[in-house]
Amino acid sequence: MLNKKQIAAYRKDGFLLLKNLFDAEEIALLKKSALADRELDKRSYGRDDGEGGSVRLSIWNHPGNTIYGMFARSERLVNIAEALLQGEVYHYHSKMILKDAKVGGAWTWHQDYGYWYNFGLLQPLLTSVTIAVDKATRENGCLQVLKGSQSMGRVDHALTGDQAGADMEKVNVAKSKFPLVYCEMDPGDAMFFDCNILHRSDQNKSEHPRWSLICCYNAARNSPYKESQHASYTPLKKVGPNAIKSAALTGFDQEPESDWLDPEVDQTIDKLKS
């Protein structure tokens, strides 16, 4: 559980990096499962980054009983999300970012709430946690944030390639006011970040992959007022400290009927085109 100083830092900075939240065995199981998971690979799709590259990712709404679900339902993560959002949370969605060596694309500057707002969410009561599967460095395109920029509130977004990008006039001014932080992480580190913080990442031009698992949580009291592409409130059953290792290699090959986001009906793009 977090202490008052950590919660205050998250409120001020818009993010909180927690070192070694998961041990080497847990991350090794996650990576081995993901690399062998044909269903995860089959369900992945690319988003043009507007810079000549493409980001490959897989997205699903309900955590299920896979090893990915054991991470998303882990009391280590859920209890922290509830402390940050001051109440019960549920699993909004998870995604695996597959930023491969030499070919992994960039993410343009954006806020998650910049487009989640269109999905019936009245308040920015969401937090995401990115879990490093591989070492994340500046060279392989680690996450970048503008520290404290969540205080700006939601800004308008438009398409950059196939991605929802923040209004660059406001981003350029924000870059002069908020420090740019490169969020370098070791495998097993976890970083929570506010849904309104401006963030991006560079293309991976290195020899090393940067895969990461991102779990997104919404406050139960902020359930969407209309049906959309991500989940409405569903009670989240937490799992204990041994659940990940007990799950072993249970990937989507063993649970193929998960609630995947179909790229053909990705409303993120449709909403910004309309």
Residue 198 has pLDDT above 50, yes or no: yes
Q: Where are the beta strands (DSSP E) in the chain?
A: 15-18, 45-48, 54-60, 89-99, 107-110, 126-132, 143-146, 157-160, 163-166, 180-183, 190-194, 199-201, 210-219
CATH fold, domain 11-273, is Jelly Rolls (2.60.120)
**Residue spans per domain, the chain:** 11-273
Q: With bands split at pLDDT 50, 70 and 90, how would you rate the model's confidence at 273?
A: very low
Cross-strand pairs, 91: 217
- How many percent of the chain have pLDDT more than 70? 83
Q: Which of 31-35, 47-51, 269-273 has the lowest mean pLDDT?
A: 269-273
Q: What is the pLDDT of residue 188?
A: 98
The residue among 147, 178, 130, 172 whose CA lies nearest residue 10 is 147
What is the tens place of the pLDDT at every residue in 143-193? 999 999 999 999 998 876 666 789 999 999 999 999 999 999 999 999 999
Given a cut of 90, whether residue 40 has pLDDT beyond it is no
78-108 confidence digits (pLDDT tens): 999 999 999 999 999 999 988 877 666 677 8
pLDDT at position 1 is 79
| Continuous segment of H or E residues that includes residue 245 | helix 243-247
261 band by pLDDT with thresholds 50, 70 and 90: low
Percent of the chain whose pLDDT exceeds 90: 66
What is the per-residue pLDDT across 112-152, written as a single tens digit (0 to 9) for each? 999 899 999 999 999 999 999 999 999 999 999 999 999 99
pLDDT bucket at 51, cuts 50 / 70 / 90: low
Amino acid 95: pLDDT: 93
**Residue 36: enclosing H or E segment and its boundaries?**
helix 24-36
Please give the pLDDT value at position 25.
Answer: 96
What confidence category does residue 8 fall into, taking pLDDT thresholds of 50, 70 and 90? very high
Whether residue 260 contacts residue 58, with contact meaning beta carbons closer than 8 Å, is answered with yes
pLDDT of residue 206 exceeding 80, the answer is yes
pLDDT beyond 50 at 274: no
pLDDT digits 0-9 by tens, 227-256: 988 999 999 999 999 999 988 666 665 554
C-beta separation of 55 from 49 below 8 A: yes
Residue 272 has pLDDT above 70, yes or no: no
Q: What pLDDT sits at residue 19?
A: 98
